[in-house]
């Protein structure tokens, strides 16, 4: 791997550190190189805070004081996503970089957001800065697949997750069954901390009484989303405790009390997955994990509204129970999580 690719890979690694905290912004990393030495780097702060480029420049200013401006002008910048070109929660990063006039800027991929797309690069080039686009572009788009999906498809990025037995069963109708091992359960909690929301259907809420939190991992709890057509889930259920906000899609009422929001869907059952995802998109939910049950998962699969599926296969056999969902997807990854086989599918 040449040095340019190494520096851009460092941007991607830095960007990943923002997982779970920057949404609905994209994850971005920035690296500043002078004479083949990294003199500053950063990633996007939690939503509303400074962007990656600002944090990288600030690091140079803190380290080098009066020499910083000269060093920045002689440096090469690497950024995993096109610098923003509009005023939002923060000023445009493209303008800041243009003022510094570095010798060159490498951009992994353009920002799909209409207020930025190509405009950040235009600002840099208008300032006389050489810009190269496309270094590790595929990897950069994959990293921000949630952001690209929300902007391009006007819905959250959908991750399906379930555990199934060796004989292809996801559980039993009448009782809760633990299928995956402790390591897989901890990994699931890590995933929850990285996404904006988590969704279950009525049957899962009744049978498992899940809290849908990240109690086995450090991080924020996702927004909990419940599909409960007739509002049959008890107000005492764990999904309604104060550990996270909860949204209930139903056919009875629209109401907002504290951390619980009920949203009545007109023509409930007609295009249900589409209606739910569009409502969540309007609330700036950028990604969601759907954890069950089988009927809910299959509903989103049949509607073609999924992007990634993470399936744990246990060594256990249940012999009787509910069949796991059926999907047509391409296996992206297989690896062992202790005794469980994790299979990751994409469409």
What Cα–Cα distance (Å) separates residue 150 from each residue in 14, 299, 307?
22, 20, 12
Q: In which order are the strands placed within the sheet that holds 330-337?
A: 255-257, 260-264, 246-250, 223-227, 197-201, 287-292, 157-164, 308-313, 340-346, 330-337
- Does 291 count as an annotated binding residue? yes
Task: Check whether 51 is labelled as a binding-site residue.
Answer: yes
Stated as kind and residue range, the H or E segment containing 146 is: helix 145-153
212 is in an annotated binding site: yes
Q: Please check if 204 is assigned to a binding site.
A: yes
Work out the number of other CB atoms within 10 angstroms of the CB of residue 87. 10
* Residue 11 counted as an annotated binding residue: no
Task: Give dist(CA 158, CA 185) in Å, integer.
Answer: 19
Would residue 266 show up in a list of annotated catalytic residues for this protein?
Answer: no
Nearest by Cα to 79 from 102, 61, 62: 102
Residue of 53, 82, 194, 195 with catalytic role = 53
261 and 245 Cβ atoms separated by less than 8 Å: yes
178 is in an annotated binding site: yes
Count CB-CB contacts under 10 A for residue 104.
Answer: 15
- Rounded Cα distance, 33 and 75, in Å: 5
**203 marked as part of a ligand binding site:** no
DSSP letter for each residue of 3-72? HHHHHHHHHHHHHHTTTTTSTTSPP-EEEEEETTEEEEEEEPPSTTS--HHHHHHHHHHHHHGGGHHHHH
Question: Quick one: which of 307, 264, 282 has its CA closest to 142?
Answer: 307
Sign of CA dihedral 53, 55, 58, 60: negative
Q: Which residues are annotated as a binding site for Zn(2+)?
A: 51, 84, 93
Q: Which residues are annotated as a binding site for NADP(+)?
A: 163, 178, 204, 208
Q: Which residues are annotated as a binding site?
A: 51, 84, 93, 163, 178, 192, 204, 208, 212, 215, 291
Q: Which residues are annotated as a binding site for substrate?
A: 192, 212, 215, 291
Catalytic residue annotation: 53
């Amino acid at each position: 791997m040449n040095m340019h690719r190494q520096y851009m890979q460092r941007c991607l690694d830095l960007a990943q550190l923002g997982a779970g905290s920057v949404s609905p912004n994209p994850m971005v990393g920035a690296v500043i190189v002078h004479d083949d030495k990294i003199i500053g780097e950063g990633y996007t702060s939690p939503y509303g805070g400074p962007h990656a480029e600002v944090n990288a420049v600030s690091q140079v200013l803190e380290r080098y004081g009066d020499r910083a401006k000269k060093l920045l002008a002689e440096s090469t910048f690497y950024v995993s996503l096109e610098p923003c070109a509009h005023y939002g929660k923060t000023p445009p990063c493209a303008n800041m970089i243009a003022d510094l006039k570095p010798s060159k800027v490498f951009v992994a991929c353009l920002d799909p957001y209409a207020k930025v797309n190509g405009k950040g690069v235009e600002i840099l080039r208008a300032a006389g800065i050489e810009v190269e686009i496309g270094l590790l572009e595929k990897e950069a788009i994959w990293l921000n697949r949630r952001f690209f999906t929300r902007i391009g498809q006007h819905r959250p990025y959908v991750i399906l997750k379930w555990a199934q037995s060796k004989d292809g069963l996801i559980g039993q109708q009448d009782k809760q069954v633990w299928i995956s091992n402790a390591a897989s359960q901890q990994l699931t909690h890590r995933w929850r901390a990285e996404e904006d929301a988590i969704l279950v259907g009525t049957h899962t809420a009744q049978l498992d009484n899940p809290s849908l939190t990240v109690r086995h991992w450090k991080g924020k709890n996702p927004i909990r989303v419940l599909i409960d057509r007739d509002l049959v889930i008890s107000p005492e259920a764990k999904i309604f405790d104060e550990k996270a906000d909860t949204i209930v899609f139903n056919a009875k009422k629209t109401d907002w009390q504290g951390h619980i929001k009920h949203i009545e869907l007109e023509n409930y059952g007609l295009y249900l997955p589409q209606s739910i995802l569009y409502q969540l998109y309007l609330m700036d939910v950028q990604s969601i994990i759907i954890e069950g049950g089988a009927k809910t998962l299959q509903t989103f699969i049949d509607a073609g509204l999924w992007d990634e599926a993470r399936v744990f296969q246990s060594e256990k056999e249940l012999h009787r129970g509910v069949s796991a969902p059926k999907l047509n997807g391409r296996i992206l990854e297989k690896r062992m999580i202790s005794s469980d086989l994790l299979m990751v599918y994409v469409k």
